[in-house]
A and B are shown apart, each in its own frame.
Chain A
């Protein structure tokens, strides 16, 4: 069965500290993985996609098929990174996406 697991509901770090938001998935084929972010009083928006191997706002995520993980990382957290982060999975060539439960990141000054 397809499943996306984000083990941490809340992650609190100090400004300038590294941050890693964990995401594990279960999928029998080749998945496409995404990270979405929701800042306070804003709508959900796409942060990055594994297929583009990009860095957005200092965040990166590498797809590890051996560990079935797609953890989101940033070397130095900023207060403006405080938000709700969702990991999401879509089957290759498909269009329906399943979402994890989300991790709330709180960056303290």
Chain B
């Protein structure tokens, strides 16, 4: 059972570069999420999706874009990376059954220099 797979695990970007963080789940979950976690802070929601073709902004969407062309994949795109985007990024998914919580990916540690 793969669950939620995130790649890469680590990445160093230079200011102004762009990259895509990949996230895939094999549990047929409708809902998918991207969070970022800064030191000493809780997880902040960047974007979320309720199904293929449907995405919406979370609490901190600026500087990011997402797409959801399939149920399985939910990539997060960073355009023009800035030092403020240095963080740990978590992808998560959940089912329609609200009794269950999230299944998380292993995280991506991104440093922008």
> Do B42 and A49 have beta carbons less than 8 Å apart?
no
Residue among B35, B40, B99, B104 with most chain A CB within 10 A: B104
> Do A95 and B42 have beta carbons less than 8 Å apart?
no
> Do B104 and A86 have beta carbons less than 8 Å apart?
no
Q: Which of B35, B50, B104 is in CB contact (< 8 Å) with A95?
A: B50
Bound form: Cα–Cα A86–B31 in Å: 20
The total of chain B residues at the interface (CB under 8 A) is 23
Bound form: Cα–Cα A44–B90 in Å: 9
> Do A94 and B98 have beta carbons less than 8 Å apart?
yes
In the complex, what residue of chain B is closest to A101 when comparing beta carbons?
B42
B30-49 near A? 1/0 per residue, CB < 8 Å: 01010100001111010010
Q: A96 at the A/B interface (Cβ < 8 Å)?
A: yes
Q: A46-B102, A100-B42, A101-B41 are known contacts; what are 17 more A-B pairs with Cβ within 8 Å?
A: A4-B42, A34-B101, A36-B102, A43-B104, A43-B105, A43-B107, A46-B100, A46-B101, A86-B43, A95-B50, A95-B94, A96-B45, A96-B48, A96-B58, A97-B33, A98-B45, A99-B43
The total of chain A residues at the interface (CB under 8 A) is 26
Q: Evaluate whether A93 and B98 lie within 8 angstroms (CB atoms) in the complex, with A43-B104, A43-B105, A43-B107 already known.
A: yes
B interface residue numbers (CB < 8 A to A): 31, 33, 35, 40-43, 45, 48, 50, 58, 90, 92, 94, 98-102, 104-107
> Which residues in A have their C-beta under 8 angstroms from that of B41?
101
8 contacts between A and B (CB under 8 A): A34-B101, A36-B102, A43-B105, A44-B92, A94-B98, A95-B48, A97-B102, A99-B43
